[in-house]
Every structure is written in structure tokens, then in C-alpha cells.
Amino acid sequence: MQCSDIKGLTFDHSSVAAIDQIREIQNFGSMLTVLMGTSVMTDIFVGRHGLKKPLAVAWGISQNEWFQWSQAMRSVPSLVRWQVRDIAFDQYTKHLSGVEHEFWRAVMNGCD
């Protein structure tokens, strides 16, 4: 979608709350990605009882479900995008005309 410049944009209370919610979702997605990466590495190298011996680390690396883990890591940005689109669609339907309507349509559909 080609997006035009939006001039004179001011946000009402509903839009400000939606923007705050989008920021929280993006921050949560970032934290989730870090947590998922850290938890696997911690489990492989440390475990529940302290640092593991090299043979145990090698076993942990070989036994980890890397394919499922990579799929889960890749799904986080998609989940964030879906949430943002849902919020944008809700705001798009609340603002039936004007510049806020244009803004939320651009957020919902993306711009080239």
C-alpha cells in the first residue's frame, strides 16, 4: 500500500491509549525473544544444579529441539504484528473519517 503524507495529525485519547498498548506489545515481544534465547542456553550450560560438565553440555546441545525452538523464535514477530494489526483495525473502525482514520489504515496495512 502506498501511504501519503498525513498532515495535521493529532490523536484523541483512544488513539493515545492504542499507541501505548502497541508499544507495550512490542516491548513484550522483544523481552520474550530474549527470554526464549536465554532460557535454552541457560538450560544447556547451567541446568538446575550449577554449571554442567562438557559431556553434559554436548548431550544437551544434541538433545535440544532446535527446529521447534527456531520456529517459536520466528513466530514472535508475527504474533506482535498480528496484535498491532488488531489494535489498528479497532482504531480504524472507531475513527470513520479524517487523518486519524488515514493513520490507522496505514498502520493496519503497512506502507511501501
CA distance 52 to 55: 8
Type of residue found at 6: I
Q: At what angle do helices 98-109 and 13-45 cross, to 10 degrees?
A: 20
pTM reported for the whole predicted model: 0.74
Residue ranges in the chain whose pLDDT is less than 50? none
Question: Which pLDDT score, from 0 to 100, does residue 47 have?
Answer: 65
Q: Look up residue 55 and give its three cell numbers.
A: 559431556
Whole-number pLDDT of residue 41: 76
> What pLDDT does residue 49 have?
62
Q: What was the pLDDT predicted at 84?
A: 95
Query: Is 77 within 8 Å of 32 (Cβ atoms)?
Result: no
Residue 40 pLDDT: 76
| Interatomic CA distance for residues 89 and 78, integer angstroms | 16
What is the predicted pLDDT for the residue at 52?
63
* Residue 47 zone, left/alpha/beta (φ > 0; ψ -120 to 50; rest): left
